[in-house]
Amino acid sequence: MLAKRKMQSKELAEKLGITPANLSILKTGKAKGIRFDTLEAICNILDCQPGDILEYREEV
């Protein structure tokens, strides 16, 4: 979605008010969870739905 919106991670992190390192954790799937208000802010900024940026993966 970042590429579609021609936005860099640094810009998104600034708009969200989080560090680029924390955004990187979210992007790589290493986060244990995400707050709904953070997810809502990401979707508002990127003009997308949660399903556009989230993917369910069953743990093995």
Q: Find all residues with CB under 8 Å of 9, minimum gap 6, and list them.
A: 2, 20, 23, 24, 27
The reported pTM is 0.85
**Total domains in the fold of the chain:** 1
How high is the pLDDT of residue 4?
93
Residue 9, in any domain of the structure? yes
Which tokens in the block code for residue 58? 């069953």
- CATH code of the domain in which 8 resides: 1.10.260.40
Residue 45, in any domain of the structure? yes
In whole angstroms, give the CA distance from residue 19 to residue 24: 9
pLDDT, tens only, 14-51:
999 999 999 999 999 899 999 999 999 999 999 999 99
